[in-house]
Each structure stands twice: as structure tokens, then as C-alpha cells.
Amino acid sequence: MFRPPRPERHRPSFLLASSAFFLVVFTTFTTFKLSSEPQLSSTRVRSSARPFVPLPREGLRLRTQRQRASPVSPKVEDELKGLFEVHKRSYKVFAEQDGDTVKMKTHAVSFEVQEDIPVVDLETELEQHGQMRKGQIASNGFRYIILQNPVPAGRFEAHLQMHVGSIEEAEDEQGVAHIVEHVTFLGSDKRSVLFGTGSESNAYTDFHHTVYHISCPVASQGTSALPPNTKLLPLALDALREIAFEAKMLNSRIEKERLAVLSELSMMTNMEYRMTTQEICELHSETILPKRFPIGDEATIRKVHPDKVRAFYKRFYHSDRADLFIVGDVDIDKTEALVRKKFESIAPSPTYLARQAMKVGALAGLKEYNETLEKIPDFDPRNDWRIRPQVKHRFTSENRVSEPTTPAIFKHEMIPSLNLVMCAKVPVQPIRTKGDLRAFVLNRLVVACLGWSLTSKVRPNPPLSGIEFDHSDSMSESCAVTTLKIYSRPYEWQDMLGVALKDVRRAFKRGFSQAELDCMVNSMLADSKQAAQQSGNIPSSEIVGSLLEAELLGHTFMDFNYYHELLEEVTKTITLEDVNAHARQLLEYIAEYGQDDSPLPAAILACVPGAPEGVEEVVDIHPETIQEELMKRPAEEEEEDEVEALDQLVTPEALEYLQSVNKPEWSEVAQGMLTVKDPETGVVMKRLSNGIRINFKKTDNTPNTISIAAVSPGGLSRETVQHPAAVKLGVQAIMQGGSFGNYTREMVDLFSMRKLMNINFGVNLESITWDLMAPTETLDDLMQFLMLVYSDLRWNEKAFYSAKELFNSNYDAVTKSLEMASADMLVRAVANDDPRFWGPPKDVIEALDMETVKEELQKQLCTENLEINIVGDFDEDLLEESVLNHLGAIPKTSKCAPLYQEDIVHIQPDPSRQHQKIELPDDQKRAIGYLTGVAPNRWGYSEQTPSTTRKEGFWSFGKSPSEKDKERRAHPMFAPACIELIEKMVSTELYSYLRDSQSLVYHTKFEVGINERLPANDWLIVINSEHQNVDRAVNEAAKCLRNIRFSPHMLQSSKRSVLHFHETESTSDSYWINMLRGLQDESIPEKKVEAISEYKHILSEITLDDVREVWKSFKTSDKDIYTCVGVSGG
């Protein structure tokens, strides 16, 4: 596959705190995504006790040379310059003109200290990870990095990075680098030896690199090709060697992968991708990048001769362009010896030999050799443009002119909303010294403080859709990019831009407050501390990607604990003046746009919804209009409200009162038992007197972290025909602006951010769930949060209408997306236009009022069937005490019947719309296909397949099973195990048939729905194919389902894959959260705690007859399969 030019630089929408620098500074990933998807954060911060004068952090600050930010003009500043002492804190006086009056204001800028200031040498080089070894094979230049990491045990990651990307392509080779990646990877016979061992592999291409990666167990458990305990690292290295240096490059494989690349191109070139490429074109217009997108040029891909593909491979795939990364449960000495053994015999490239010869001559002191050596230098694949095609950036900091950048406009009728992006680019700053780290931290603090302020402007205001501010390195584009991006409805873009510019200019002119900075620094340090505590539990799959990126960007790869110590040291050198001065530097290209001698933005691009020919434009926007808006300066700036910082959500006095009204008590969870504990899994079950069920499991998977899922059964399946979408809208309204008690939403947001609490509120067909994750020391805070949510939830009318606006915008977006419009059409046919399942359309949303929505949602948020699932690193006694004291004080509320609406189960699809096709207007040919049908739920039940039943305590399929069969089929986990194996086997067979045999698709997968409570479910297949092949691909997929024949090899291979998945995932808390869900839910009687530990055993015991019989409950006949094909550009 190809790697998109610039991946999303933002974290998930509901991430509340500044969440970890994965693995250290090398990620250089600092961003806030601010959108209509709400985030719990706020604007300006103050301490409730001492506004803008929080207590000083421990430690001393080091003064370093820096620019001072001038809040007002130099003339006024000279007249008013002065510092005065208050509680050993320095304040800066600045003035604000208001007519004839000058208002005097102050900002705290630093602490004065009497002790000696400790010396921090910012030139000190950083130490690399102690468990890492770098090396190079002198004979051919092959480089390797080995890092020992024991998580997960018995596995390793091997990534081979070739410094060959799309920039190496000639004009008539666009897409050849991508084809070579496919041909070498999928044409490797030695890679296929690893199939069925629990190994996973993939590859990608970007502008500068092609990466092949293999994830393997250290030893095989035995396959048809390999005996048990076969060491797999040698085989993985054999495969990587074949891929990079010994590929066969057969014509048949080239033609097969040509078709696959074309299908991938059709799949990827959606509107989001096209807007991204437009941004790349504007941002890097002075370079070759806009002419060398990794996906390739369709016309070139179709006609390029196989000889040209082979020639490209021969020209660039050499050992001195290779970096091998091995991370995992390996011995470093033995692994290094093995790497040298496997790759020493690779012939060196002519250029490498020439460079080595020049070195020999230089050492001998020969003049002619010395002169030639300068012409053939050492090859640094990261940035040596003397060897590779030149990508010379025009950086914003070096480009100051009086004429502002002219905005570009990309207009298309399939664009759902208006996006406006304003970018600057600077060189990547490698992080190798303490000073480099300090600069990185300054970047992060500026982005965090500004993002904090912007968030609160967006979330509660219906017209505003989103603001994203970001500064991050891009290894693909070999530069760092600062981005301000706004999203809005087309006719409200000026309002949105005005909101963004106001905050940016406030930060540029006045800077941030000491309270804001302290909040962000404390959050950063708490985050780093938690990451250090978890350093021994980071999986190799995460580490290797970060290591690869660090090497490419020139960063020092460090251990978490060492990094945290550095961060504590470096943050002591950072003052408010430093951060504000850095903010002026980072934001100048926005705040001073159009002013004389201001830095020139690298790009300004508006992606605008267009109108079909002959129809009036959606919005009249021109480059001059955008420039005018960017250069507007408000006459005066308003002071912003300050948000009180809470130390706790429930005071001891309030808690004592609530406990006196609702006395917390445990009740029996089973006959005569207040506690049930499973000795095999360590899972504990308890129940409170108000009906709340508690399931918890102590783990050391993620040290100092606790994860919670508060699950209320019901979800969308409880919505009535009279009030469809009420629950869905209610959940969104709470996320937009819900609160509790006497607290404002901003106060709750700030509290959550300071405590590093990640919170999400979501709904699916069967349940409503609060998902929470935070450091263990916030256990009481998490319990207080849940306590207030389920006892004193407050609604906000403005947020309710904001949620309505969001649903209406999303509905409009569906009609402009090929994928969503096709899926929507299929769902409407299968659900027979029931609005609880599709849309929801605007008229349904508009018909709902807040009281109705509130009532429908509150019905489900009752204590009697509420289940709290807790997994993490905690003391069990303290957990039980906190749960009892807080959740036990929630007033009891009774559950409502029914659990789901009966009519949902009996909805019949519309046979007149069994096979549909939708065509959207577009200038690019694209296609997507969907197939769906009836399946049993995850426990094997389906009212529509009564022939498959559980009689006399075991699953019966109309035959007389043996006693051994009865025992196996009586186990509660029998059906879930069969269904999971079926999912894997059918997916593998579909992929093999449609891609490898028929060359019709790039990717396809068979998935079964997640329903557990409803006696109904479905299966789904997504087809990614070319325009001219999609109809045939859909038909062949249906044919494959009808004719599938499960074989012993398929079953054994799938068992290994599924068992590997469970073994790997069982080391994560999220896995155990899912295992706990429903343990005390009467609507899922089969899910028992004792059965969880037996799942792997039952899975290994499933027979081919079991799978074949359960497969019969999946409806796959001609009359049962419903399809929808979406095409565009035809």
C-alpha cells in the first residue's frame, strides 16, 4: 500500500489530556483537534484561591537568552515599563488603549528566587536508549538497529526500510515505486513460509521511503510447512532479504500487482485524500513533491512496461539504502550475529564501492582521491540530496515579503463543508541535546495553551464546526509544518475564521497567563511520569514505528524514564516569557499576515463545496475575500472569562450528606455471597444495594492506569418508532455541553484535563457506555465523575441545538461521500427505511425536542441494570472502598422494560431493493461495493435461523451428536468461538479468491456484527475495486460465500491466527474490559466468568463439522444477500 502524504496529525476527538509522547521526544507530535466532536477542555484558567498566582512549582528556573514579548507598542512600553514585587513574583505592566483612556493590566511572568540558580548545560547531548544497538556492515553499507523489548513476550518486529520513494521516479515512472513495493512483497516465496505461524506482514511507500515489516513469534508452534519450535527470526530475515535484494520480478506478478495498485488508487482517492493532496501541492509548490505522489499516476500505472519496473528495482534497491529495525523479545548479541550472517553476502552497489575506494585513497593522502571524495560523499539517506533527488523547501522563516501569500481555492461539488488551512513550514529540528528538547517542549506548550483556548469557542456554538491548530514534524515531507485549519458550513466561514484569528492574535500580542502555563506544564509532567511508569509495558509494534521515525528525523531515541527526568529538568528552565516569546515566533505568520516584513505563509488553501453546472454556487468566495478576512484587525479585544480550577468534584461534606440519604451497602451477587472471585482470571464480581453491578480485574498491563466502562443496556434498540434517533441525539448533546451539579461545563472540562482523565460517551445498537481512563491516583475522581453523571446530570439547551446542527451537517456529508451514500442506501433497504437505523434524516432530528430526548436517554441511565467494569493497576481494597462510598450513594432507579423494541427484531428487508446501485457526480472514477445478510448474534442465536438451536443444554444441528460433541457444544463459549473462526476463514478465502485468483479487488473483509443481546445480527463484506470491475467483484464475492468449502488447513491456520490475537490482546486492559462487559447482565446468560478462562481451550477444540454446522445459520443464498454498488466518475 502507499502511505498517505500527510497522515492526520491530531489525536482522537475525545482525548481529554495531553496524552503521552509515545516513547519520548522523537514523535514530535503536538496538536489539538477542535471540532464539533466535543473535547473536555476550556479557555483561560485561574486558581480558585489565588487568581493568576498559583503556588510555585518546586525547583528553580534557569534564565536563558530569549526575546521578550512586547504586549504593546515599543513607545507605550518604554513609557510604562516597570516591574513590581508581589509575593516574590514578577509582573509585567502593559497598557491597552480605550479611546482616551489607557487601561493598566498586569501578567505574572516569572518567579524571583534567592537561591543559587542551578546550571543546566543545554548543549549536553542526549543519551540513546540503553537497550539499543546500532551497526553497519562495512562491506556493503547495510545498516541495522536492534532494540530488546520483552513486550509481548516471545514476539519480535522486523522492519526493513529502503530509502527509495516516489521522489526517485522519473516523469514516466510515476507509480513505479508503489508497484515495486507490491511486486517484491507479495511475490516473495520466503514470506509465504511464515503463513499460519501467527505472523503478520505489510508494506507501504511514501515520498522518500518504502518500508516492509514483519511481526512474528520467536518460535513456530507448528504448521504444515514448519515443525514446532522452529525459530522464525532467521526466516523473517530471509524473507526481507529476498524482498529487497533478490525479488524475481516476474511479468505475471507485475501484471497482477498493476491491477491491485489501480484498485488501491480507486479506493484511496476519496475527497479527503484529494483535499490533502491539494494542500500538499500548495504547501510544497516549489518542490517536486506535488508531481510525485506515492500512489502514482493512473495513466502511467496502466501502461508502464514491466522492464521499466524491473529497472527501477535494480537501480535503487541496494544495501547502502537499507535500514533494518528489529525490536522485540530477542538477544541483542545473537540477533546482531544473525543479521550480519544474513546480509553480509549482499553485493555492494557501485556507488558504495566508489565511496569506499575514495576513503582508502584519502587515508593514503593521495590528492586526487581527496578531491574526488568530496564529489562522492558518505550517503546519509535521511537528507543527502547530493545523492537523491533534491527536495529544497522554501521555509516560512526565511521568506519575509511585503506582498501577502495569495490564497488558493479548490472547489468541488463533493466537498461536504468548507475547509480553510493556513500553513507555515520550517526545517525539522533534530532533538539531540537538552536545548533541542527545550525547544520541542516550548512548541508543545504553545500548541497546548492555544488549543485549550480555541476548544471552548467551538464546542458549545452551533454555527462553529471545528478548529485545528498543529505543529509537527513530517518524515514523509522532510520538514516541520505549523497549521491552522478551520471547518465550517460554507456560509459561516468568516465567523469561524474570526474566532480563530482572535485567539491567535490574543496569544501573539498578550501571551498566555501563568495559570494556563502551569496547568499545561503540570499536565505534561504528569503525563510523562505515567508514561515512565508504563515503560516496561509498551509493545514492540509501537516502539518500532517510533524508532523508525526518530532515525529519519534525526532525533535521539531515549528510554521513557530518562526522558521524564530530562523533562523535569528542562521545564524548570522555561518561564512564561519564554513561552510567550515562542508563541510570537510560531504564530507570527498568522497574526501578522499582510503586515510589512511579516513571514510569508507557505500555503493558504480553501476547499469549498461547489455546485453542479447550471446551479447557483453554494458560497461566493474568492482569494481577495479570504485575504481581506485574514487582514482584518478588531478595534478592541474583550477580556475573557476565567474558569475556576476545581480540586475535587464532590466535597467530603457533600459526600457525607449523600451517603446519609442513600446509605451505601453491598448486596448479594450470588446466593449467600457478597463477592464472587474467579481464581483462574482474577475477575471479581460484586453488587451494590442500588442495583449497580461491579466487575473488576487487577492487572499490571499498564502501570498506574485505570480503565472503566460504565455500561447501560438498551442503546438504539430501545428507541421507539415514535421517537427515532432520540437516544443518539441525547448522547451527542451530553458530549457537546452536558454537566452536573453547580459546575459549568468549562469547570468540568478543566478538572478532567488536569487529572489526565480520558472520557468518551457513546451509544451503539445494544448499550450506552461511558468509557474512562486515567492515572490510578485519580480513582476517587473517576468515581465522583460517575456518581454525578448518574445522579445529577445537567442538560444545556445550546448544546442540544449544537448536536442537532452536527447531525444535520453529517446527513449532508453522507450524500457527498461514495462510501457513506452507498452504505446508507443498503441500510435503508435492509431496515425498510426505519429511521432508527439510517440517517437520521433532518426532519426526524428537527421533530425532536430536548424534553423528549432527555426523557428517552434518562430512562436508560438507571442503576438497576448499570454495570461498571474496571480494569487496571489498583489496590483492590481501595477500589472497593471508593466504589462503595461513591457509587453506593447514587439513588436507586429502576430499569425500564423492554430491553429492546420487539419490532426491531422482526423488521423485514425490502425485496424490491435487494440489489441497488448509486452513482455520484465526480471527475474521478471510483467504486465501492457492499454485501450483507443475516447472521446469528455473537452467542449463536437468531430468530431468523430457528433450525440452529440450543436444545437440552447443547447446540444441536438436526443430527445425533456424540457425547464428546455434546460436551463441547454445551460450553457457553462454543458459538462465539465458531463465529470468530468463521470470520477469519471467510475473510481469508474471500481475499485469496477475489484478489489473488481473480485480481478484482485491492482489499476485502468479512465481518460479523457485535450484537450480543438482540436475537438478530448481520454479516458484511466491503469490496474495494476498480470502476469497471466492481459489479463483477460483488457477484464473485456472493458466489464465493455460497460455494465456500472449509478445509482442515483453513481451520488450523485460522485457529493459530485467532489464538495469537487473544494471546497478544490479553496483555491489554481494553481486552479485559470487553471480557468483563455483560458478566452480570441477565440478558446474556451464557457469559459467565468461569467460561472466559476456557475460551482458548474451546477454540482449539472446535472441529470442522462444528464450523460447517454453525455456518448454516448464516444466510448466504441468492434471495438472502442484499447488495449495493456505488460508482462515481462514470
Residue 487's SS3 state is strand
Residue 607's SS3 state is strand
| Residue entry with cell 505568520 | 589
CA distance 802 to 793: 18
Strand-pair partners of 687:
667, 693
- Cis peptide bond upstream of 152, omega within 30: yes
Give the number of other Cβ atoms within 10 Å of residue 504's Cβ.
25
CB proximity list for 690: less than 8 A, separation 6 or greater: 662, 863, 864, 887, 888, 890, 891, 892, 893
User: How far lies 904's CA from each of 171, 725, 819, 837, in Å?
Assistant: 57, 14, 25, 10
CB proximity list for 263: less than 8 A, separation 6 or greater: 1000, 1001, 1002, 1003, 1024, 1025, 1026, 1029
Which amino acid type is present at position 222?
G
Which amino acid type is present at position 96?
E
Where in 475-568 does DSSP place strands (E)?
479-488
Active site residue 881: no
Which amino acid type is present at position 1030?
V
Question: DSSP characters for 224-287?
Answer: SSS-TT-B-HHHHHHHHHHHHH-----HHHHHHHHHHHHHHHHHH-SHHHHHHHHHHHHHTTTS
Do 773 and 757 form a contact (C-beta atoms < 8 A)? yes
* Spatial CA neighbour of 444 closest among 534, 574, 543: 574
Which amino acid type is present at position 1106?
D
Do 162 and 210 form a contact (C-beta atoms < 8 A)? yes
CA distance 191 to 160: 13
Residue 480's SS3 state is strand
Give me the catalytic one of 257, 279, 588, 1109: 257
Which of 941-977 are b and which e, b meaning 16 or more Cβ less than 10 Å from the residue's Cβ? Answer: bbebbeebebeeeebbbeeebeeebeebbebbbbbbb
Q: Report the first-to-last Cα separation within the chain, whole angstroms.
A: 25
CA distance 539 to 149: 8
Residue 172's SS3 state is helix
Where in 878-1029 does DSSP place strands (E)?
915-920, 926-935, 949-951, 954-956, 1001-1008, 1017-1025
CA distance 388 to 318: 13
Give the number of other Cβ atoms within 10 Å of residue 467's Cβ.
26
Cell of 957: 444441528
CA distance 239 to 247: 10
Give me the catalytic one of 37, 169, 173, 181: 181
Angle separating helix axes 876-887 and 779-789, nearest 10 degrees: 30
Q: Where are the alpha helices (DSSP H) in 924-973?
A: 963-969
Q: Are strands 693-698 and 867-872 parallel, antiparallel or unpaired?
A: parallel
The helix (H) or strand (E) run that includes residue 770 is strand 767-775
CA distance 886 to 367: 82
CA distance 695 to 698: 11
User: Could you give the residue numbers annotated as active site?
Assistant: 181, 257
